[in-house]
Amino acid sequence: MMDAPLSPAAQVAAENDMAVSRRSRFLTLPSLFIVFVFGVLPLVLICIYSFLKPYQNGGVVWQFSTDAYLNFLFQRDIFDDTLQFAPDFLIIYGRSIFYALFTTVVCLLLGFPTAYFMATRPPEQRNWWVLLITIPFWSNLLVRTVAIMFIIRDEGLINDLLIYFHIINKPIVMLYTDFAIILGLLYSFLPFMILPLYSSLEKMDFRLVEAGYDLYASRWQVLKRIIIPLAKPGIVAGSLLVFIPALGAYVPPLILGGGRHLMIGDLIAQQFGSGRNWPLGSAQALILMAAVLVALYFYSRNETGPVKHG
Amino acid sequence: MADLNKTLDLKRQAGFGTVAIICLIILYAPILVLMIFSFNSGSQITKFEGLGLSWYAAAFENQEFYSATKNTLIISFTATIFSTIAAVLAAIGTTRVKPWPGMSWAFMIINLPLMVPEIITAVATLSFFALIAGAFGLNFGIGNIIIAHTVFCIPFAYMPIKARLEDMDLTLENAAADLYASPWQAFKRITLPLLMPGIASGTALAFIVSFDDFTITQLVAGPGQTTLPLFIWNQIRRPMTPEINAISTILLMVSILFISVSFIISKSRKS
């Protein structure tokens, strides 16, 4: 405590300058401790595991090895110990990237008009629209994916209805196909596209649209030359928010792919389960993480970059 | 007149409303189908035979459902309480203060669970608990799941609390200090009551992400530590009955309830 008779306000100001900084650091400690010990250290641990040898019943043997990374592209021949090119994992990675890109494009094509429609509603209606899009965003993904499964099964709702109305006589196989997984991804991540697009369109200055029409632009020209360029930050943010989780998706391919069309997420989980190759699973997780970091890098560059007006 | 309005409405783009309706159908049709068939009295999951609550009754008599509910509630409540307390403190420590050295790092670490794909968090946490169980003989049982959940609940609780704090200025706290309130009194009588909507919203989000989590729980859970999402996963690998629709509907209703509450609280602060 200070001896000089300071007013309480001045004391507060002095305290703000000195103690608050220390106190605020102290206040973040519980969160930092929990996330660091149980969130960051495990990630460091799988970095280490990816350079070790697998133990036959799961877990690791503490011996340095780069096999996990070599296994990504090659398979060791069991007879003469030579490495042979094996593209199995590469195919799964390629498939995951394709599914994720395809999902992102479809989400954008559906999400942009929806977000624009929401942003041009009267303000009191907008809140209801946002709530309607937010509810699936937070609802149980497993349950929602199971619901899709019930609808597209051979004996599911769509096939039953088509057979009932004699449009087809035997069910169309939809479950456990590429279509099923992409539908599942689209359905899971559509709100991730709509919400950021909406927040960038909501802030848009519609006087620019008006100016476009004054200069005899058609609706399509206004959309292409004014609205889409202004919504670009939202488009980039939404695309990444769909692409990143879609790339590492686990639940949709697990339930709707039935183990026939693996994605990276299933592959990683498999190495820690029936595959019993933790180092390989760790290496694959890190490769996925690297892909995510690249995407996040572009995102952060987009967010902080200068706003260009065409 | 209506047609004239449409052509004069400069914001309008043809067909966008239709796409919006299509999106709503995509998002809600599966959920609605699930809910409708939970009231089916027949034994087929998507063939309606009659209205009835028999599958809800079956669910409530199911011992496995009962114990999964118990586990889920223990895990979600504990993880929500821990993560909300940690998040409140962290939000106060990183909002309305002069940036301190390392604050941007602290911010990044707190938000890390949002950036890492869930499956990676899941296998990393599994590896970590396996290591401490192997090296130190430490196994917290259901505590492992609680810890894993607390980690990813923190950023979800942190965000709305931080947003609420950013909307509050320091005038009232300074006034309290002028009236010789101790920092603790000022916190308890001024900051905390004003922060309550943010805390409520954060608590709701933390609870719902914990309650709904499947991926991380599936990998970290040991034998007998079945939560509701794991219970559903076990059910769909057996011959299915509408009981699963009934249980899924209960889970969805919990999500919708908490999300709506969180949404309404966060909207009411702005008006």
The predicted-structure confidence for A242-290, as pLDDT tens digits, reads as follows 999 999 999 999 999 887 788 999 999 999 988 889 999 999 999 999 9
B220 touches B148 (CB < 8 A): yes
DSSP strand pairing (A60-61 vs A53-54): antiparallel
CATH code for position A164: 1.10.3720.10
Domain count for chain A: 2
Written as one string, the DSSP assignment of B14-78 is: TTHHHHHHHHHHHHHHHHHHHHHHHTB-SS-TT----B--HHHHHHHH-HHHHHHHHHHHHHHHH
Confidence of residue A304 (pLDDT cuts 50, 70, 90): low
- Read off the pLDDT of each residue in B35-56 and give the average, rounded to a whole number: 79
When mean pLDDT is compared across A71-85, A116-130, B148-162, the lowest value belongs to: A71-85
Domain containing A248 equals 88-304
pLDDT over 50 (residue B48) = yes
Give tens-digit pLDDT for B229-257: 999 999 888 877 788 889 999 999 999 99
Same domain, residue pair A214 and A139: yes
Same domain, residue pair A31 and A95: no
Same domain, residue pair A109 and A36: no
Please give the Cα distance from B271 to B260 (Å, whole number): 17
Place of tokens 């005038």: B171
Chain B residues with CB under 8 Å of A21 CB are 97-98, 100
- Cβ neighbours around A18 below 10 Å, total: 9
- Read off the pLDDT of each residue in A178-196 and give the average, rounded to a whole number: 94
Residue whose C-alpha is closest to residue A59's, from B123, B116, B214: B123
Place of tokens 């917290």: B140
In a domain, residue B46? The reply is no
Cβ B29–A151 below 8 Å, yes or no? Answer: yes
Same domain, residue pair A10 and A109: no
Same domain, residue pair A38 and A96: no
Distance from CA of B242 to the nearest CA of A (A): 11
pLDDT over 80 (residue A305) = no
Residue A10 confidence (pLDDT) = 67
Strand (E) or helix (H) holding A74: strand A74-76
Cβ A118–B121 below 8 Å, yes or no? Answer: no
Distance from CA of B112 to the nearest CA of A (A): 8
Cβ A143–B20 below 8 Å, yes or no? Answer: no
In a domain, residue A81? The reply is no
Cβ B23–A110 below 8 Å, yes or no? Answer: yes
Residue A15 confidence (pLDDT) = 60
What is chain B's length? Answer: 271
* Top-confidence residue, A168 or A40: A40
Distance from CA of A171 to the nearest CA of B (A): 15
CA A115 to chain centroid: 19
Place of tokens 């995102």: A299
Residue A265 confidence (pLDDT) = 93
Residue A1 confidence (pLDDT) = 45
Residue whose C-alpha is closest to residue A156's, from B57, B245, B160: B245
Chain B residues with CB under 8 Å of A213 CB are 10
Residue B1 confidence (pLDDT) = 43
Residue A307 confidence (pLDDT) = 45
Residue B220 confidence (pLDDT) = 93
Q: Which residues 62-101 on chain A approach chain B with CB closer than 8 angstroms?
A: none
Written as one string, the DSSP assignment of B122-137 is: HHHHHHHHHHHHHHH-
Same domain, residue pair A37 and A127: no
Would you give the DSSP letter of residue B191? I
Q: Please state the ipTM of this predicted complex.
A: 0.88
Please give the Cα distance from A33 to A216 (Å, whole number): 60
3-state secondary structure of A244: helix
In a domain, residue B150? The reply is yes
Please give the Cα distance from A70 to A59 (Å, whole number): 19
Contact of A136 with chain B, judged by CB distance below 8 Å, is answered with yes
* Top-confidence residue, B29 or B139: B29
Mutate which: B5, B6, B8, B13, vs A, most A CBs within 10 A: B13
The phi-psi region of residue B50 (left if phi > 0; otherwise alpha if psi is between -120 and 50; otherwise beta) is left
- Read off the pLDDT of each residue in A149-164 and give the average, rounded to a whole number: 86
pLDDT over 60 (residue A139) = yes
Residue whose C-alpha is closest to residue A254's, from A190, A176, A196: A176
Residue spans of alpha helices (H) in chain A: 8-35, 41-49, 67-73, 88-119, 123-138, 141-152, 157-164, 178-202, 207-214, 219-222, 228-230, 232-247, 251-256, 264-272, 278-304
Tokens representing residue B151 in the block: 């980690």
* Top-confidence residue, A165 or B14: A165
Same domain, residue pair A45 and A93: no
Cβ B232–A142 below 8 Å, yes or no? Answer: yes
Domain containing B119 equals 55-268
Cβ B85–A30 below 8 Å, yes or no? Answer: yes
When mean pLDDT is compared across A165-179, A180-194, A269-283, B36-50, the lowest value belongs to: B36-50
- Read off the pLDDT of each residue in A182-187 and give the average, rounded to a whole number: 94
Residue A214 confidence (pLDDT) = 87
B242 touches B124 (CB < 8 A): no
Mutate which: A11, A15, A35, A175, vs B, most B CBs within 10 A: A35
In a domain, residue B241? The reply is yes
For A289, which of B83, B113, B116 is closest by C-beta distance?
B116
Would you give the DSSP letter of residue B140? -
CA angle A210, A212, A213 (to 5 degrees): 65
Cβ A32–B47 below 8 Å, yes or no? Answer: no
Cβ B178–A191 below 8 Å, yes or no? Answer: no
Distance from CA of B236 to the nearest CA of A (A): 8
Chain A residues with CB under 8 Å of B22 CB are 110
Confidence of residue A4 (pLDDT cuts 50, 70, 90): low
Cβ A113–B20 below 8 Å, yes or no? Answer: yes
* Top-confidence residue, A47 or B263: A47
CATH code for position B124: 1.10.3720.10
Confidence of residue B46 (pLDDT cuts 50, 70, 90): low
Confidence of residue A117 (pLDDT cuts 50, 70, 90): very high
Dihedral of alpha carbons B161, B164, B169, B175, sign: negative
Place of tokens 């114990």: B67
Same domain, residue pair A270 and A163: yes
Same domain, residue pair A294 and A176: yes
Q: How many CB pairs under 8 A join A and B?
A: 276
For A25, which of B93, B115, B152 is closest by C-beta distance?
B93
Same domain, residue pair A116 and A249: yes
Tell me what percent of the residues of chain A surpass a pLDDT of 90. 44
Domain count for chain B: 1
Tokens representing residue A192 in the block: 């991730």
Give tens-digit pLDDT for B150-185: 999 999 999 999 989 988 878 888 888 888 888 888
Mean pLDDT of chain A: 86
Give tens-digit pLDDT for B208-218: 999 999 999 99
Tokens representing residue B70 in the block: 């118990």
Residue A9 confidence (pLDDT) = 66
In a domain, residue A36? The reply is yes
In a domain, residue B215? The reply is yes
Indicate the pTM of the whole model.
0.88
In a domain, residue A31? The reply is yes
Residue B270 confidence (pLDDT) = 55
In a domain, residue A236? The reply is yes
What torsion do the CA atoms of A98, A101, A102, A106 make, to the nearest 10 degrees? Answer: 170
Cβ A9–B214 below 8 Å, yes or no? Answer: no
Tell me what percent of the residues of chain B surpass a pLDDT of 70. 94
Same domain, residue pair A158 and A295: yes
Same domain, residue pair A185 and A103: yes
Closest residue of B to A183, CA-based?
A: B26
B153 touches B90 (CB < 8 A): no
Closest residue of A to B36, CA-based?
A: A147
Going by C-beta distance under 8 Å and a sequence separation of 6 or more, which residues neighbour residue A279? Answer: A49, A50, A51, A52, A53, A54, A60, A65, A67, A68
Contact of A8 with chain B, judged by CB distance below 8 Å, is answered with yes
Packing angle of the helix pair A141-152, A157-164 (nearest 10 deg): 20
